[in-house]
């Protein structure tokens, strides 16, 4: 019978459908880009071009990474190796207020353009839809969609002005946000800890969120502060939801700094009480206790890092101002052995060392070591800060509305960027949840962890027919070995594929088999159209 002939049968695996339900032993039939049937004894009666033996494997919907920055790398690395080796089949890019789709070739983006051109990417678009079309033309290994970044939108309209926006500027911000949404953005993101997002208040953000809401988009926020004023910052994100009715996603929830440890419970309580009042708030997290960002962002007093990098460097080089900066840092210094230098373009020997180690090597105190390095690099210095505690992370993972989101950038362990200093989450996020927090620590059950990686983020973003294993759904499928799956990427050696991810299908095509990626680009750029992301 013709309708019994399929392209692939995945046979003998334990099927986790993504709903959180216990696994069942069944076979999956794939034809074209869809799952056509799931039946207990299907393989016995079906025919297929290829039968894949999944005995001993957990078979799940392809993972959906709800929080990434891969729009910064997708055009120079469309094979997205680090993502596919984790079993990720869809990413939501453009988070934290930053979205490459909003960058233009205007002078205001000179810095971004230098950096994009350095990686071989030329801006050939002047609107968000053009960026998505470029991805279509290029083809990608996995599906991607993107938020419109408020920071980038603001920069395009207002440059680095501290604001607030004038009436004319507000009109332009609204128009550009609306254009992005019409072009297929899945929502609006903010990065209120970064420039220029830091200048924005709820009065500026809420009208833009209302525009995103009109297209059924979501609002994601890297909130204003994730340490001392964590709770106030979450309340601010919730206020945007309260004023506009838009679904709010608190990005990468955490409590930074020893004196704030334990606050994640209170943060989740805030989210729960907002939900009880009918405000739709959820969150996401990555399974690491270190975050990675610009060293200036978390080390310097706000006034000292304000403005452009040149202005910041001038302050660091002015002896009097430097003394003041020094003094303020020493009032509440980080633990220097917990700050690991990441990307330092001109001081590569500093990469991978802690500020405590560097201070010894250079015979200076750690503050001067840090400030000298920042000035020398003109602010272009990233660092990993081991500022969180595992109890908070486990609390976040236990919460039923926490999706898994890497906050990573898709990368590749060979070629031009293989020595880039990146957070290991780009390679290890999903296998680490499965290996450490499910298998070793038992913080979540396997079906529940899979739900947080699949149907929960799919529903959150409004992605249609993905995040579940069901007849009619797209055949985005991962099969892995639950007894051995684990991340191998470390801060010192981040470009390491995870272990235990055996098979990945993207839109019905085999993208990875026996742990080896195939040279195909089966992914699609997804767009929100009529409210649905497809």
Nearer to Zn ion, 30 or 295 (CB): 295
Nearer to Zn ion, 222 or 395 (CB): 222
Q: How far apart are CA 341 and CA 425, in angstroms?
A: 16
Nearer to Zn ion, 69 or 322 (CB): 69
Nearer to Zn ion, 249 or 517 (CB): 249
Contact segment (CB under 5 A) with Zn ion among 109-117, 222-230, 268-276, 513-521 equals 222-230
Q: In terms of DSSP bridges, do strands 187-191 and 218-222 run parallel, antiparallel, or are they unpaired?
A: parallel
Contact segment (CB under 5 A) with Zn ion among 95-103, 143-151, 256-264, 364-372 equals 95-103
C-alpha triplet 111, 114, 117: angle, nearest 5°: 145
Nearer to Zn ion, 251 or 507 (CB): 251
H or E element in which residue 327 lies:
helix 319-331
Q: How far apart are CA 97 and CA 69, in angstroms?
A: 10
Helix (H, G, I), strand (E, B) or coil at 202: helix
Between the alpha carbon of residue 470 and those of residues 446, 452, 455, 461, the distances in Å are 19, 17, 12, 19
Longest dimension (CA), the chain: 84
CB of 288 to Zn ion, least distance (A): 13
Contact segment (CB under 5 A) with Zn ion among 89-97, 168-176, 264-272, 386-394 equals 89-97
Count CA atoms within 13 Å of residue 447 on its CB side. Answer: 11
DSSP at 499: B
CB of 223 to Zn ion, least distance (A): 9
CB of 221 to Zn ion, least distance (A): 9
Nearer to Zn ion, 252 or 353 (CB): 252
Helix (H, G, I), strand (E, B) or coil at 507: coil
Burial of 8 from C-beta contacts in 10 A (0-12 / 13-18 / 19+): buried
**Residue numbers 443-502 binding Zn ion by CB under 5 A:** none
The count of residues interacting with Zn ion (CB under 5 A) is 2
Nearer to Zn ion, 382 or 455 (CB): 382
Phi then psi for 46, rounded to 5 degrees? -80, 160
CB of 172 to Zn ion, least distance (A): 25
Nearer to Zn ion, 494 or 500 (CB): 494
CA proximity to 292, closest of 416, 161, 423: 423
Candidates 69, 155, 222, 460; binder of Zn ion (CB under 5 A) is 222
CB of 214 to Zn ion, least distance (A): 25
CA dihedral defined by 465, 470, 472, 476, rounded to 10 degrees? 60
Contact segment (CB under 5 A) with Zn ion among 37-45, 92-100, 254-262, 476-484 equals 92-100
DSSP at 378: T
Nearer to Zn ion, 96 or 271 (CB): 96
Q: Does 512 bind Zn ion (CB under 5 A)?
A: no
CB of 268 to Zn ion, least distance (A): 18
User: What DSSP line would sit under 63-92, residue for residue?
Assistant: EEESSB-GGGTTTT-TT-HHHHTTTEEEEE
Contact segment (CB under 5 A) with Zn ion among 112-120, 127-135, 136-144, 216-224 equals 216-224
Contact segment (CB under 5 A) with Zn ion among 41-49, 217-225, 341-349, 380-388 equals 217-225
CB of 252 to Zn ion, least distance (A): 6
Kindly provide the residue ranges of all beta strands, DSSP E only, lying in 223-345, ordered along the sequence.
248-250, 281-285, 291-294, 339-341
Contact segment (CB under 5 A) with Zn ion among 97-105, 215-223, 295-303, 385-393 equals 215-223
Q: Which two tokens stand for residue 154?
A: 């603001």
CB of 98 to Zn ion, least distance (A): 9
Q: How far apart are CA 35 and CA 15, in angstroms?
A: 13
Contact segment (CB under 5 A) with Zn ion among 10-18, 219-227, 283-291, 381-389 equals 219-227
Q: How far apart are CA 292 and CA 431, in angstroms?
A: 19
Nearer to Zn ion, 425 or 452 (CB): 425
Beta bridge partners of 283: 250, 402
CB of 193 to Zn ion, least distance (A): 7
**Residue numbers 346-405 binding Zn ion by CB under 5 A:** none
Beta bridge partners of 341: 383
Nearer to Zn ion, 77 or 95 (CB): 95
Residue labelled with tokens 């789709």: 101
CB of 289 to Zn ion, least distance (A): 16
Contact segment (CB under 5 A) with Zn ion among 220-228, 450-458, 475-483, 491-499 equals 220-228
Q: How far apart are CA 515 and CA 484, in angstroms?
A: 13
CB of 283 to Zn ion, least distance (A): 12
Helix (H, G, I), strand (E, B) or coil at 258: helix
Which residues are CB-contacts of 205 (< 8 A; sequence separation ≥ 6)? 150, 190, 240
Burial profile 95-113: b = 16 or more Cβ within 10 angstroms, e = fewer: bbbbbbbbbbeeeebeebb
Candidates 64, 80, 96, 438; binder of Zn ion (CB under 5 A) is 96
Nearer to Zn ion, 96 or 145 (CB): 96
Nearer to Zn ion, 70 or 517 (CB): 70
Which residues contribute to the site for Zn ion (CB under 5 A)? 96, 222
């Amino acid at each position: 019978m013709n309708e019994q002939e399929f392209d692939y049968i995945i046979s003998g695996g334990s099927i986790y459908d993504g709903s959180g339900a216990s696994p069942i032993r069944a076979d999956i039939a794939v034809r074209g880009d869809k799952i056509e049937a799931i039946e207990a004894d299907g393989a016995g009666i079906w025919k297929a071009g290829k039968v894949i033996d999944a005995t001993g494997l957990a078979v799940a919907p392809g993972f959906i990474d709800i929080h990434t920055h891969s729009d910064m790398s997708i055009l120079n690395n469309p094979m997205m190796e680090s993502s596919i080796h984790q079993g990720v089949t869809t990413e939501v890019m453009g988070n934290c207020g930053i979205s490459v789709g909003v960058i233009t070739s205007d002078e205001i983006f000179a810095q971004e353009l230098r950096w994009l051109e350095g990686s071989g990417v030329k801006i050939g678009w002047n609107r968000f839809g053009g960026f998505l079309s470029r991805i279509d033309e290029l083809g990608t290994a996995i599906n991607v969609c993107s938020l419109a970044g408020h920071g980038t939108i603001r920069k395009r309209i207002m440059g680095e002005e501290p604001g607030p926006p004038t009436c004319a500027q507000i009109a332009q911000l609204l128009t550009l946000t609306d254009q992005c949404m019409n072009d297929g953005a899945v929502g609006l993101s903010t990065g209120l800890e970064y420039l220029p997002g830091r200048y924005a208040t709820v009065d500026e953000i809420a009208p833009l969120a209302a525009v995103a809401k009109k297209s059924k988009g979501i609002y994601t926020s890297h909130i204003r502060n994730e340490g001392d004023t964590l709770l106030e910052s979450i309340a601010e994100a919730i206020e945007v939801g309260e004023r506009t009715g838009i679904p709010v996603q608190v990005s990468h929830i955490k409590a930074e700094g020893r004196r704030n440890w334990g606050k994640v419970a209170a943060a989740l309580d805030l989210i729960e009480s907002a939900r009880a009042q009918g405000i739709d708030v959820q969150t996401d997290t990555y399974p690491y206790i270190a975050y990675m960002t610009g060293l200036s962002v978390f080390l310097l007093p706000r006034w000292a890092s304000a403005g452009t990098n040149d202005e910041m460097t001038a302050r660091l080089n002015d002896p009097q101002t430097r003394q003041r900066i020094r003094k303020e840092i020493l009032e509440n210094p980080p633990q220097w052995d917990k700050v690991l230098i990441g990307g330092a373009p001109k001081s590569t020997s500093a990469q991978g060392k802690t500020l405590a180690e560097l201070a010894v090597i250079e015979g200076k105190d750690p503050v001067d070591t840090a400030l000298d390095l920042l000035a020398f690099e003109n602010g272009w210095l990233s660092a990993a800060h081991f500022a969180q505690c595992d109890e908070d992370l486990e609390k976040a993972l236990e919460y039923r509305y926490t999706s898994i989101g890497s906050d990573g950038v898709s990368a590749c362990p060979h070629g031009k960027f293989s020595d880039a200093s990146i957070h290991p989450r780009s390679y290890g996020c999903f296998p680490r949840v499965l290996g450490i927090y499910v298998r070793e620590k038992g913080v979540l059950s396997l079906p529940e962890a899979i739900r947080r990686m699949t149907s929960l983020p799919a529903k959150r973003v409004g992605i249609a027919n993905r995040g579940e294993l069901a007849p009619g759904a797209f055949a985005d499928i991962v099969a892995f070995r639950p007894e051995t799956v684990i991340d191998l990427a470390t801060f010192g050696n981040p470009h390491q594929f995870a272990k235990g991810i055996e098979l990945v299908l993207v839109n019905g095509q085999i993208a990875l088999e026996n742990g080896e990626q195939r040279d195909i680009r089966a992914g699609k750029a997804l767009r929100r159209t009529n409210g649905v992301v497809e």
